[in-house]
Amino acid sequence: MTERVVVAMSGGVDSSVAALLLQRQGFDVIGVTMKLYSLDEANLPPSYQGCCTLDDVEDARMVCRSLGVPHYVLNVQREFQEHVIDYFRREYSKGRTPHPCIACNDKIKFSFLMNRAAALQAAYVATGHYAKIEHTGDGWVLKKGVDTAKDQSYVLFGMGQEALARTLMPVGAYAKQAIRDMALDAGFINAEKPDSQDICFIPLGDYKAYLKQHITAVPGDVVHVDGTVLGEHQGIEYFTVGQRRGLGINSREPLYVVQVDAETNRVVVGPEEALYRDRVWTSRVNYTSGSPPEDPTRVAVKIRYKASEAPAVLYPQDDGAMVCFDEPQRALTPGQAAVFYQGDVLMGGGIIEGDTANSETLWQGTPGGPAKEPIPG
């Protein structure tokens, strides 16, 4: 019996070629475009490279027509508002810097769409992500995409064994140019369409202007790390760790945002060397294998989507994990993700909180067992 797969089709070239590849592999393909939010398309610039316009829906529909497969549009605006947009606003109001694509993948593509796929009697959901899913003797693993410049595994660290077993990512085995070449050979209308660049629900790319419309800002102090009050800010949501420009203060030395303190409504600034930390506490940690390693483990860690990997030791705990880096890292930003790799395998990841565990606990051995290596310091 031919297995059915629901392909999440944004109207872009990657998801379109994912549908093409799966059809060639013998799957019964159904294309689904999710309507995430409403756009006032009359105000969009000609150079807009987001998604969810009527043109994007039409591009996905035309690709499905050329493949001879069904195409449906699902309205997920309510779910997207709750799990992505509201989360985005809430995090900024707390002085944090969220990554909305991670929330979208976790809550929309690999939760809501999985449930809809079951209703369509589909065994799998497929996406156009540049990552690979493989089965080993120990279960399913998530790996980096072949094209290192396009690898998207970072935003997928929330996947578990059940989601990995039911997900297909066929474009992860190819370079981006090869994907475009396949789209051109297939005559797809979107073969040369630019990749999406902006936060999808902020079409003009100005997140500060967006926040001004949706969050009531409260002024507060800009404070030097030595305790000196240097000026006043107009809202903590307009600042992120590592920021240099737009601080609204005068200083003879370059100053950077070192901390955004929601409890005191202060923005703390300091010299660049104050940005470096050799450890970070992560919360809401997920391990793709379904369980943490039993002992402290050597890993390579990405602290931002485009960051280089940094060698570190991972110390799993009941309520999160401590990551201790070999070398201090610049601008560890609360709200962003720290993602753990071993080679090309993604082990898991968590949300950056700070440089100390919230429980103030160090690594402890299992009850009755031998003591394990403590967290340094």
Q: Is residue 367 part of a domain?
A: no
Of the three residues 270, 292, 307, the one that is the final residue of a domain is: 270
Of the three residues 270, 297, 315, the one that is the final residue of a domain is: 270
Q: What is the pLDDT of residues 355-372, one digit of tens each?
A: 644 333 333 333 333 334
Please check whether residues 74 and 138 belong to one and the same domain: yes
Q: Is residue 42 part of a domain?
A: yes
Q: Between β-strands 276-287 and 320-330, what pairing exists: parallel, antiparallel or unpaired?
A: antiparallel
Please check whether residues 249 and 163 belong to one and the same domain: no
Q: Is residue 40 a contact partner of residue 48, using CB atoms and an 8 Å limit?
A: no
Q: Please give the Cα distance from 133 to 198 (Å, whole number).
A: 27
| 98 to 89, 91, 172: CA distances (angstroms) | 9, 6, 25
Helices 13-24 and 176-186, interaxial angle, to 10°? 70
| 242 to 181, 257, 266, 278, 341: CA distances (angstroms) | 39, 5, 15, 16, 24
Q: Is residue 339 part of a domain?
A: yes
Beta bridge partners of 192: none
Reading the block at residue 340, the tokens are 């753990």
Q: Is residue 10 a contact partner of residue 128, using CB atoms and an 8 Å limit?
A: yes
Residue type, 326: D
Q: Kindly report the pTM of this predicted structure.
A: 0.89
Q: What pLDDT was estimated at residue 359?
A: 33
Phi, psi of 344 (to 5 degrees): -95, 10
Q: Is residue 203 part of a domain?
A: no
Q: Is residue 84 part of a domain?
A: yes
Q: What is the pLDDT of residues 95-113, one digit of tens each?
A: 999 999 898 888 888 888 8
Of 15-19, 52-56, 184-188, 324-328, minimum mean pLDDT range: 52-56
Under the banding of pLDDT at 50, 70 and 90, the label for residue 196 is confident
Please check whether residues 242 and 309 belong to one and the same domain: no
Mean pLDDT of 201-223: 88
Burial bucket for residue 176 (CB in 10 Å: 0-12, 13-18, 19+):
middle
Catalytic center residues: 104, 200
Residue 167 has pLDDT above 90, yes or no: yes
Q: What pLDDT was estimated at residue 368?
A: 31
Nearest to 58 by CA among 94, 92, 9: 9
In percent, the amount of the chain with pLDDT more than 90 equals 71
Q: What pLDDT was estimated at residue 44?
A: 55
- What's the domain range around 229? 216-270
- Angle made by CA atoms 324, 329, 330, in degrees to the nearest 5: 150
Q: Is residue 35 part of a domain?
A: yes
Long-range contacts of 113-118 (CB under 8 A, 24+ apart): 113/6, 113/8, 113/32, 113/34, 113/74, 114/163, 114/166, 116/6, 116/32, 116/74, 117/6, 117/166
Q: Please give the Cα distance from 355 to 329 (Å, whole number).
A: 11
Handedness of CA 212, 216, 222, 225 (dihedral sign): negative
Q: Is residue 362 part of a domain?
A: no
Report the mean per-residue pLDDT for the chain: 89
Please check whether residues 159 and 235 belong to one and the same domain: no
**CATH number for the domain harbouring residue 245:** 2.30.30.280
Question: What total of structural domains would you count in the chain?
Answer: 3
Q: Is residue 204 part of a domain?
A: no
Residue 283 has pLDDT above 70, yes or no: yes
Please check whether residues 292 and 265 belong to one and the same domain: no
Q: What pLDDT was estimated at residue 39?
A: 61
**295: how many CB neighbours lie within 10 A of its CB?**
11
Please check whether residues 293 and 227 belong to one and the same domain: no
| 193 to 51, 68, 197: CA distances (angstroms) | 11, 21, 12
Q: What pLDDT was estimated at residue 101?
A: 87
Please check whether residues 108 and 224 belong to one and the same domain: no
Please check whether residues 227 and 341 belong to one and the same domain: no
Please check whether residues 128 and 252 belong to one and the same domain: no
**CATH number for the domain harbouring residue 123:** 3.40.50.620
Please check whether residues 228 and 106 belong to one and the same domain: no
Please check whether residues 169 and 220 belong to one and the same domain: no
Please check whether residues 243 and 147 belong to one and the same domain: no
Reading the block at residue 183, the tokens are 């789209």
